[in-house]
Homo-oligomer: A and B are copies of this chain.
Amino acid sequence: MADKVVCFGEIMLRLSTPGYSRFIQAGSFDATYGGGEANVAVSLANYGLDSFYVTKLPDNPIGHAALNHLRRFGVRTEHIIRGGERLGIYFLETGASQRPSKVVYDRSHSSISAIQPGEIDWKRVFEGAKWFHFTGITPALSDNAAHATLEAAKTAREMGLTVSCDLNYRKKLWSTEKARSVMGQLIKYVDISIGNEEDAGKVFGIKAQSTDITSGKLNREGYREVAKRLVEEYGLKMAAITLRESYSASDNGWSVMLYDGSGFFISRKYKVHIVDRVGGGDSFAGGLIYSLINGYDGQKAVEFAAAASCLKHTIPGDFNHVTAAEVTGLMEGDGSGRVQR
């Protein structure tokens, strides 16, 4: 029987322009569905866990299509509630070379942002579960959503689940002040924090020394310090950081780091030629959670998670459609890309 894991957050309709077209050129949009926490849920289902997603979706065909998209890929949708005004949308155009990918959010007034206290029966949701994952996006959506997240995190902690949180700071959703205040409450119930090079700085004011994220160069030493401070200052078990080197919209360097309170583990670095980098961080979270549930040691955990998210960058859409065997294949050395017949 597979371990039960629960993710909570939003899922949006993703409308992306075909190929490298800009928004103003598009005569159609590719339609998939995704979101920071849903992406993790799909990863965990792909790896064979019993993965549940909790959200609120409008009771119309667009909400239904979002639900179908999750269950198509093996995520359990029994605890999703229906109602509210609309499904959040994000528009995406895929960048190339020096032109960045661009996201236009149209997520206000979504059903999840108007979720009411008590609408979800968290005790029933977490029954028999081992792990709860959320991100810093959901509490940023609205006070209602922040409240629901707090309910969830507290209940999970009380019921003995491991709780992970991807800090995921979104400057369009809230200020750093608001983020610090709300996340400061939530972090108390968190065991493992995940974030990119910027998140800890934006949310908790913990910054690496002298790193210029736009230059494509990263200061690894600095990030060790960030991870260590996160663990120590917030009483975490572990802190993980993704290290993206943005050479261009087409090519990135990608590696990840984990601090478990005693040791630092840094993965191999991948030079990735990018197909779709949205969901890259989420695929790391998925790989890390799977690794830790499986009892992988620190080094194996970062290697698995880094390989998983390396592969995500080659797959269109938010979701990381890979099996654990494929991740292991890459992690154990074959990045040669030879045809598999």
Contact = CB atoms under 8 A, between A and B. Distances in A.
A89 interface: yes
Contacts of A30: 27-28
Given A97-B274, A214-B333, A316-B19, A341 B28 contact: no
Given A98-B330, A99-B315, A246-B337, A60 B24 contact: no
A106 B60 CA distance: 11
Contacts of A333: 214
B72 A86 contact: no
B272 A23 contact: no
A27 B30 CA distance: 6
Interface residues of A, number: 89
Contact of A24 (B28, B29, B61, B251): B61
Interface string A24-59: 111111111000000000000000000000000000
Contacts of A89: 89, 106
Nearest to A249: B337
B23 A61 contact: yes
A124 interface: no
Interface string A73-113: 11000000000011101010101111111111110110000
A65 interface: yes
A133 interface: no
Interface string A223-256: 0000000000000000000000011111110000
Contacts of A103: 339-341
Nearest to A70: B72
Contact of A98 (B68, B251, B252, B335): B335
Interface stretch (A3-11, A174-182, A296-304, A306-314): A306-314
A213 interface: yes
Nearest to A321: B22
A274 B20 CA distance: 11
A206 interface: no
Interface in A232-287: 246-252, 270, 272-278
A92 to B, nearest CB: 9
22 contacts: A15-B31, A19-B316, A20-B316, A23-B61, A24-B68, A25-B316, A61-B93, A62-B91, A71-B72, A86-B106, A97-B275, A97-B313, A97-B314, A98-B314, A99-B314, A100-B336, A102-B339, A103-B339, A214-B334, A246-B338, A247-B337, A248-B273
Interface of A: 15, 19-32, 60-62, 64-65, 68-69, 71-74, 85-87, 89, 91, 93, 95-106, 108-109, 170-172, 213-216, 246-252, 270, 272-278, 307, 310-311, 313-317, 321-322, 326, 330, 333-341
Given A27-B30, A60-B104, 17 more contacts: A15-B31, A19-B316, A20-B314, A22-B315, A23-B65, A24-B64, A24-B68, A27-B27, A28-B31, A61-B102, A68-B72, A97-B272, A98-B314, A98-B337, A99-B311, A99-B322, A101-B339
